[in-house]
Amino acid sequence: MPISNRHSLFVLRRGLLVLLGLGLLSGCAHFTARPISPEGSLAQYDRRALSNPGLATFLKANNVSVPAPDGPWSLKALTLTALYYQPSLAEARARLLAAQAAQITARERRNPSLSLAPAYDSGVPSAPSPWIVPISIRWPIATAGRRRDRIARARHLALAARWNLVKTVWDVRSTLRTALLDLYAARRTEALLGRQEQALRTTLTLLQGQVRAGALSNIEVTRARVELDHTVLAREAEAGRVRQARIELAKGLGVPLRALADIKLSNRPFRMFPEKLTQPQVRQQALLGRADVRAALERYAATQSALQLQIARQWPRLNLGPGFAWNAQLAGDREWTLGLGLTLPILNRNQGPIAEARAQRRLAAARFLAVQSAAIAEIDSALAAYRTALLRVKTAVSLQRSLRAQFRAIDARVLAGEGQPLDLSEARIALIAGDRDLLATRIEAQRALGRLENGVESSLTFKPLALHDAGDSSLLPCQATRTCG
């Protein structure tokens, strides 16, 4: 081959290699640093407010109107606010996105490798060139459905991560509802203790008047004063619980405490005691479709795919290796080769990883049964507690009606001049004590209802799968009933 032709061929090869390198580099991802500043994150947290325009957009995307400046915030609006701000939800969603990113890795095929091993041999006399340029490609071929098993395992893990996100949504709602209920209970109890304190002061004044008239001894006055002091201490303790409940509510919402200043809260959900969650079909659906049960089931399915993958790896891996060599010593002779390589399962047949995968499958099966058993116990316990609490509420309501009738009767007698004001004051104290007992039973029933709602995770209460972010996309990146990714 003439020297000019050899030089042109060399330039052409070098140009092709340069173009190939540029093409490979053009599709590469590039690192972008995103440092975290503790000062910046703290300042951002302090700026959180319920008047945030982004929060308003999020509420609107989920068909909830932003309350008026003097209007009350409902439990649903507060729940969405917590989902907007709570870092635990962002963490769970990041785990889901990481699991979905792992699906990309599972779907990827192994890249072929290019081998270039030029050789120099000056021992051949009168050769046009001493260079020998062999080029070979190693092309791996996945056998026995390994890629399919990798994809299936990653898909199940992504679904498990998504159900964990659904569980986090329920946990956020449960924490918020408990904090809101605690604040409601503390405020109502403090108000009733204030009324009781005022009634006791009236009783004490009446008793002191009778002592001065010589109708009673100082022992009755002392007893009334002790009871009054106990009531004052209880009211002051309840005022502290109100402050602590506000702190817990702000924590549940993921906002600073000052964001709750001048915010009215709706107590409407705590005045209702629905029985729709006590239906047998709700319990059955919960035991099959609870988020932690579904997540455990998907993790078990992932171990099934992992075992299939390890069984597939006992078969040899196949590699195709076609090659080309240009031998200038033989006047530009060109040689083609077709290589075939495979691993030899002589020393082991992947028994260790297969045994580990089988053990992991047994462990996942045991975990699923444990999760489902815990769900059964939790739901049955919540159902029993709620039904018992409803019975106690009915009894407390009946007792309060009797106390109210007694108070009206004594009041009528006092107005008719047939009773003493002290009797009316004591009846008022008894009536307020009945109000406190009724409130306590209702709060207990509401706590039981909250545990039941969080236990059954029914769409009759809340629908995490229907949530949307500030745009039109789902808050949960893929449908739980479909394949993620």
CA distance 197 to 220: 17
Query: 3-class SS at 86?
Result: coil
More confident residue, 113 or 167: 167
Residue 175: both structure tokens together? 């924490």
Q: Give the pLDDT confidence of 239-249 residue by residue, as tens digits.
A: 999 999 999 99
Show the domain range for 402: 52-59+69-108+142-314+349-456
| Single pTM value for the model | 0.82
More confident residue, 333 or 401: 401
CATH number at residue 157: 1.20.1600.10
Q: Give the pLDDT confidence of 175-234 residue by residue, as tens digits.
A: 999 999 999 999 999 999 999 999 999 988 888 888 888 777 788 888 889 999 999 999
- The answer to whether residue 465 sits within a structural domain is no
User: Can you name the residues that pair with 113 across neighbouring β-strands?
Assistant: 138
Q: Give the pLDDT confidence of 288-346 residue by residue, as tens digits.
A: 889 999 999 999 999 999 999 999 888 887 777 776 666 655 555 666 677 777 777 77
CA distance 297 to 238: 45
In this structure, the dihedral spanned by the alpha carbons of residues 14, 18, 24 and 29, taken in order and rounded to 10 degrees, is 150
User: Among residues of the chain, what percentage have pLDDT more than 70?
Assistant: 85
More confident residue, 170 or 70: 170
Looking at residues 57-61, what average pLDDT do you find?
90
Q: What is the pLDDT of residue 14?
A: 53
Backbone angles phi, psi at 289, to 5 degrees: -120, 10
- The answer to whether residue 196 sits within a structural domain is yes
Q: What is the pLDDT of residue 480?
A: 44
Q: Cβ contacts of residue 96 below 8 Å, gap of 6+?
A: 158, 161, 162, 164, 165, 476, 477
Q: What is the pLDDT of residue 228?
A: 92
Q: What is the pLDDT of residue 409?
A: 93
Single-letter amino acid, residue 81 = T
Looking at residues 418-425, what average pLDDT do you find?
86
- The answer to whether residue 173 sits within a structural domain is yes
Q: Give the pLDDT confidence of 217-226 residue by residue, as tens digits.
A: 788 888 889 9
Average pLDDT in the chain: 84
pLDDT of residue 142 exceeding 80, the answer is: no
Strand boundaries in 180-285, DSSP class E: 264-265
User: Among residues of the chain, what percentage have pLDDT more than 90?
Assistant: 46
Q: Give the pLDDT confidence of 269-288 residue by residue, as tens digits.
A: 899 999 899 999 999 998 88
More confident residue, 38 or 156: 156
Residue 461: both structure tokens together? 């209460």
Distance spanning both ends of the chain, measured CA to CA:
55
Q: What is the pLDDT of residue 349?
A: 83
The model's confidence at residue 418, banded by pLDDT at 50, 70 and 90, is confident
Closest listed residue to residue 266, CA positions, set 61, 78, 50, 462: 78
Q: How many domains does the chain have?
A: 1
Looking at residues 6-24, what average pLDDT do you find?
51
User: Can you name the residues that pair with 321 across neighbouring β-strands?
Assistant: 339
Looking at residues 23-47, what average pLDDT do you find?
77
3-state secondary structure 419-446: CCHHHHHHHHHHHHHHHHHHHHHHHHHH
138: exposed, middle or buried (Cβ count in 10 Å: 0-12, 13-18, 19+): middle
The model's confidence at residue 144, banded by pLDDT at 50, 70 and 90, is confident
CA distance 137 to 112: 7
- Report whether 432 contacts 424 (CB < 8 A): no
Whole-angstrom CA distances from 89 to 81, 167, 207, 473, 476 are 12, 10, 59, 16, 10
- The answer to whether residue 128 sits within a structural domain is no
> Cα 33 to chain center, whole Å?
27
pLDDT of residue 27 exceeding 70, the answer is: no
- The answer to whether residue 338 sits within a structural domain is no
Q: What is the pLDDT of residue 217?
A: 77
Q: What is the pLDDT of residue 367?
A: 96
More confident residue, 142 or 50: 50
- The answer to whether residue 18 sits within a structural domain is no
The model's confidence at residue 471, banded by pLDDT at 50, 70 and 90, is low
- The answer to whether residue 35 sits within a structural domain is no
- The answer to whether residue 129 sits within a structural domain is no
Q: Give the pLDDT confidence of 336-355 residue by residue, as tens digits.
A: 677 777 777 777 888 899 99
The model's confidence at residue 7, banded by pLDDT at 50, 70 and 90, is very low
Q: What is the pLDDT of residue 197?
A: 94
